[in-house]
Chains A and B, each alone.
Chain A
């Protein structure tokens, strides 16, 4: 399955065609039965200019039964003009092979095979063959051709330039999507939807997380603001730190008291909690070492008085 290739199965389209092999798309080499061509030397440089002139150049030789599409091709110092009737081709394919115009990919003209036909005629069926007469591709009975060597149309003989088939209806063949592409695109779209669903779930999860915060903030709406929160936190954290230190120091000082070490004085002075202990002289070193091990600042006032300081900042 080649989804992106524009090449279809190459078939020579002629009036004797009875059926077509199975394929998703066909590229047709039109036999002269389906188009009219004319070589003309014109003083125009570009194909689009030549194409504009095509209707007037072919006007006299075209039957009026159909609407025609025109194709021009540079041919040496002149231009080859081709005209085909899409409706005629569509009708023929419908009758002979029950194929819809959507199946038609590119079209080629038998005259584009001139180089091949110069060497060897192309067999069409058992009676007829395609050959060059006066440098124009023509269908003739096989019996009229000398020799019995006939080429068979294959992809090797595909002309270099192909033309998009213009259907008689509004949409072109390219406007139709192939089933494979529809299926593959649908699968990709489904996968994409799965990712979107996944993304939406993440989005929902974010919303749930935010809801959790909202529920907590309902109790204290003021704390929704980071600034207010920081201000309140800073205020109470300072109190918390100071008071915890005071209580911690009181706890440490209580460890220093005993029958031989009595609290003499305790006070908060600035950023310090100072305590003075009256200690029995032979105990003073022990109390001092306990205080020091608790990271307290210790100083001896005299032989029995020990001053202990702790920071509450």
Chain B
């Protein structure tokens, strides 16, 4: 077979292979970019969720909310190991509103929440976990 033909065929084959390689890498990049971007988004979201709800420093914040209430109105306040069992008596409407707003701003999960009105005063009972 003519060596010239072989040389040209080899060079052309090399070109075809390199074009295929380039295109396969390009399409790989497109697929991988989408996949990696999705993974990054998911990891960041999971990290944010975890950081929000894992309860780092939450105990101190819950204590600070309870400590802002007059002691005589605190019937029960057990705060330990990611759990707060609270019962507050004789709360005015403004006080109950303030406590509930502050608690709602914390990354805690309300397992039990009960507010009962008695005349002009309110009784708040809640079990929160984090």
Contacts and interface: CB of A to CB of B under 8 A. Distances in A.
Contacts of B109: 239, 242-243
- The interface residues of chain B, by DSSP majority, are classed as helix
Interface string B90-113: 000100010010001001111111
A178 B4 contact: yes
A190 to B, nearest CB: 10
A6 interface: yes
Given A189-B14, A192-B17, A213 B43 contact: yes
Interface residues of A, number: 58
Given A184-B8, A242-B109, A268-B110, A192 B15 contact: yes
Nearest to B120: A262
Interface in B43-84: 43-47, 49-50, 52-53
Nearest to B35: A209
Contacts, number: 161
B26 A202 contact: yes
Interface of B: 1-5, 7-8, 10-12, 14-15, 17-19, 21-26, 28-29, 32-33, 36-37, 39-40, 42-47, 49-50, 52-53, 93, 97, 100, 104, 107-117, 122
11 contacts: A4-B2, A177-B4, A195-B19, A196-B18, A198-B26, A206-B25, A213-B39, A216-B44, A240-B52, A250-B104, A262-B93
List 8 A-B pairs, minimum CB-CB distance, nearest first: A202-B25, A199-B22, A195-B18, A188-B11, A192-B18, A236-B49, A185-B11, A199-B25
